[in-house]
Structure 1
């Protein structure tokens, strides 16, 4: 009976100790052991709440605007939106003071999910006269991919309609801001943008 009880407790401990929690995110390495990048999902694809991870509170919270939950009054997010962990775009070097943003094209993932990704492009936005880069990525796991892309070349040649949708969404999703598309960069530029801001703990 004692052995059985010990086995149950051990199993529960192992399950909970292996789960990623928001407390882990500040120390989460940017890359996995096999060289893929990681993305922490804040906003699941197909939803409209502007959820953000707060480092100080170690929680995912709906962003506030004028004391109210910020709901995107437009079409829902076309991909899973989040950030590359252990990155910091330093304002003193032209960054926006946040982690590198990423949009993962794939099936909807829960808030707090940690996904291995392959960067395939970067879309360059002009937000209030400042450049704002968004990494576009696909899941590294083949079973989680919904479109067949190897790099920016295949993305632009095989899915030009998706590029148009993303441009349109990023341009118009926030009615309080005027956003413009400056252009796109390929996977090499996307990776360079990530590497530029890595700040491993």
Structure 2
């Protein structure tokens, strides 16, 4: 009988130490946090299956092209790709109608992971006539960081090669001429942009 009680208390202790359950809908998270933004990971770094969160079904599913799972016919994603919840790039203002995209620069994280991150800039593209912004961010958790830029200037000086790789990757990953480069925004303009598109 003593062993049964020991097992019961051990199970109770383990259960009480579990983190609070996340919302069923990742898009229910707020866009901004006390130290940055929330990022929902759709596509882990180093993979090439285009996965998107479907709000209606609340599932992460492979994007379809010609009836097949869409694979990026290029180098794998150079970071964890996802979106900022509770944002939307308004079509009426020239956006694509989707949440703001994010490239989270760190080691691969599983699809569905929600991470607090700090924006360090954003890449501005035109994709099929619509503004397509790619926010570049790093996790606020130092144990997840693989690079440590303080801001866009620091990123441009000390990680200029990474910046060029990211720019080139987004210009060519979906075929030559699909995307047009419009420029970079620094971290302060990126934060203002996020606030503008926050729902």
**CA positional deviation for 1:5:** 5.8
**CA positional deviation for 1:95:** 2.2
Q: Secondary structure at the match of 1:77?
A: coil
* Deviations 1:159-183 (CA, angstroms, capped at 9, x unpaired): 1111111111001101286112111
* Deviations 1:70-124 (CA, angstroms, capped at 9, x unpaired): 0001000000000001112221233211111000111111101111100000101
Give 2:123's aligned residue.
Answer: 123
- Point out where structure 1 has 5 or more consecutive residues left out of the alignment: none
Mapped partners of 1:54, 1:11: distance in 2: 35
Give 1:132's aligned residue.
Answer: 132
Give 1:79's aligned residue.
Answer: 79
- Residues 171 and 9 (structure 1), Cα distance of their counterparts in 2 relative to 1, 3 Å cut: same
Aligned residues of 1:128 and 1:177 also touching (Cα < 8 A): no
Mapped partners of 1:159, 1:71: distance in 2: 28
Give 1:192's aligned residue.
Answer: 192
Mapped partners of 1:129, 1:92: distance in 2: 13
Question: How much is the aligned-residue C-alpha RMSD, in angstroms?
Answer: 2.0
Query: Superposition pairs for residues 93-112 of structure 1, below 5 Å?
Result: 93-112=93-112
Stretch of structure 1 that moved more, 170-179 or 131-140: 170-179
**CA positional deviation for 1:158:** 1.0
Aligned to 2:20, which of 6, 18, 21?
A: 18
Q: Secondary structure at the match of 2:78?
A: coil
Query: Superposition pairs for residues 4-43 of structure 1, below 5 Å?
Result: 4=6, 6-7=8-9, 10-11=12-13, 14=16, 18-20=20-22, 23-32=24-33, 34-43=34-43
- Residues 71 and 11 (structure 1), Cα distance of their counterparts in 2 relative to 1, 3 Å cut: farther
Q: When the two structures are superposed, what TM-score results if normalisation uses the length of structure 1?
A: 0.89
**CA positional deviation for 1:16:** 6.5
Give 1:167's aligned residue.
Answer: 167
Mapped partners of 2:124, 2:198: distance in 1: 19
Residues paired across the two proteins, number = 197
Q: Secondary structure at the match of 2:125?
A: strand
Runs of 4+ in 1 over 3 A off after TM superposition: 1-17
Q: When the two structures are superposed, what TM-score results if normalisation uses the length of structure 2?
A: 0.90
Q: Secondary structure at the match of 1:18?
A: coil
